[in-house]
Amino acid sequence: MPQTTEITAAGRYIILVAAFLGWMFSGFQMAVMTLTARSATTEFLRSGQLSATEMLRVERLLVAPRVTAQSNPPKSEEKETLRAAVPRWFSWYNAAFLFGAAYGGLVFGWLGDWLGRVRAMGASIFWFSLFSGLGYFSATPEQPLLSRFLAAMGVGGMWPTGVSLASEAWSEASRPLVAGMLGTSANVGLVTLNALGYVYDVGPDSWRWTLLVCASPMILAFVVWFCVPESQRWLAARKVGASMTGSVSMATVFRPPLMRLTLIGIALGTIPILGGWGATQWFIPWADQVGGVADLKSKALAGMMRSGGAVIGGLIGGWLANLGGRRLTYFLVSLSSVALGEYIYLYLTPKDPSFWGFVFALGFVSTIFFGWLPLYLPELFPTYARATGAGVSFNFGRILSAFGVLGTGAITAWFHEDYGKAGSITTLVFALGMLVILFAPDTTHQKLKD
């Protein structure tokens, strides 16, 4: 490995700020349909684009059929229809997001190893901003599925490129703090969008503005392209020859000697993602169901409390992993998450005053994972395959989680929108973390591999 040029202190901070903002705005994308799903579904029902038994219709992804004018359905009929439709469409929106993020992570992660971290990161930010803005014009319930899938591709690409760029720019001693900053940034975005939803109503007639907010980071893409310095480690690795960086593909990390590490990374990435999207995200529609139209702020409050705790958890995740060791930290976070989740779903409801505090606590604990992952996953892979390996690990976890989210929606529908019973089942995914981490290598005292 040739000598790398030392990046300036200003360059390191520019990289950290750009990666933080890129992943923070990705948090907007994660929050938007969770916040708006019930309101959007209600609007599509009232406009005649959705019925109680109707499933997804592919032909309406691009074209909205004409609908004859009709009066709104009776309140009793609307409530019964939404009881079945909301969990179904909520799970489909989240699954579309996860599938898109997984695909985008693989594509942009590979581009990050081929064209450079900065080019790929800027492209991912531009991509998710563009397709979020186009989602504003959705006329059928299927069209947000398409816009969510496409926007999520950029979100998926932001993670491996931003994490690789920041990890390679900062010293070994600083990387736990950097990992914590990146781990918390998405949750800052989640809190911000939910706070806007708390101040400004997100109802059936007023939910589309959130998609314009999600489109606003487009300008950041140009700032990244023109102002952020490229990773010196990546530039040095490229000089070694095309035999390494030029030939990297997704297949590279599924061949020895990286295959075992990739499979472990996928398993470790899947559990917190599925736990978040398949268990803790459902606090928001649960609060929305209980609050109803009379209390549109309850779902935003649930999102704020969950993500507010997550801001702290993500921030200290890297520090805890360094303090307690990679494996022990992951084990204890898994144990605490399943214990808190089961208590909330089995013994509390959004009507209980203590519900909000426990949601905050679970958001805090379960998001330590996301300060842990930016520290740990880059440590598994050498420089020439780091963005690809981290992207594959995190985003294959999203693929598996997407199927899990669809299963969660089916479970919730099976229990007739009883989120307590359904959530107590889905929360058990965190228990798998206590088993999987036993097979993972401990990289606590290792440096990044060249």
Q: How far apart are CA 27 and CA 311, in angstroms?
A: 11
pTM: 0.79
8 Å CB contact between 101 and 277: no
What are the helix and strand counts (H, E) for the chain? 17, 0
Q: Tell me the DSSP string of 61-85.
A: TT-PPP----PPPPHHHHHHHHHHH
Highest mean pLDDT among 158-167, 206-215, 233-242, 272-281: 206-215
pLDDT band, residue 7 (cuts 50/70/90): confident
The CA dihedral of 358, 363, 364, 368, to the nearest 10 degrees, is: 140
Q: Cis (ω within 30 of 0) for the bond into 257?
A: yes
- What confidence score (pLDDT) does residue 1 get? 39
Q: Mean of the per-residue pLDDT values for the chain?
A: 86
| pLDDT tens profile 382-425 | 877 887 787 788 778 888 888 888 888 888 878 888 888 999 99
pLDDT band, residue 70 (cuts 50/70/90): low
Instruction: Give the model's pLDDT for residue 68.
Output: 52
Comparison of pLDDT for 411 and 293, the residue scoring more: 411
In the prediction, which pLDDT does 386 show?
80
Classified as helix, coil or strand, 266 is helix
Q: What is the pLDDT of residues 336-391, one digit of tens each?
A: 999 999 999 999 999 999 999 999 999 999 999 988 988 888 888 887 788 778 77
d(C-alpha 412, C-alpha 408), whole Å: 6
Radius of gyration of the chain (CA): 21
**Which of the four pLDDT bands, split at 50, 70 and 90, describes residue 123?**
very high
Residues 63-77 have a mean pLDDT of 62
Residue type, 154: G
Average pLDDT value for residue range 309-337 = 92
SS3 57: coil
> What confidence category does residue 55 fall into, taking pLDDT thresholds of 50, 70 and 90?
low
Confidence of residue 75 (pLDDT cuts 50, 70, 90): low
Could you report the per-residue pLDDT of 244-258, keeping only the tens digit for each? 445 566 788 888 889
Query: What backbone torsions phi and psi does residue 54 show, to the nearest 5 degrees?
Result: -75, 135
What's the pLDDT score for residue 152? 95
Query: Which of residues 248 and 286 earns the better pLDDT score?
Result: 286
Tokens of 155: 């979100």
426 and 411 Cβ atoms separated by less than 8 Å: yes
Domains present along the chain, CATH in parentheses: 9-53+74-439 (1.20.1250.20)
Q: pLDDT grade, residue 65 (50/70/90)?
A: low
Instruction: Please tell me the distance from the alpha carbon of residue 425 to that of residue 397, in angstroms, as a whole number.
Output: 19
pLDDT over 60 at 242, yes or no: no
pLDDT for residue 49 is more than 70: yes
Coil vs helix vs strand at 228? coil
Q: Tokens standing for 10?
A: 């200003």
Q: Is the pLDDT of residue 93 over 70?
A: yes
Neighbours of 259 (CB within 10 A): 12
186 CB-near residues (< 8 Å, 6+ apart): 23, 24, 26, 27, 30, 314, 370
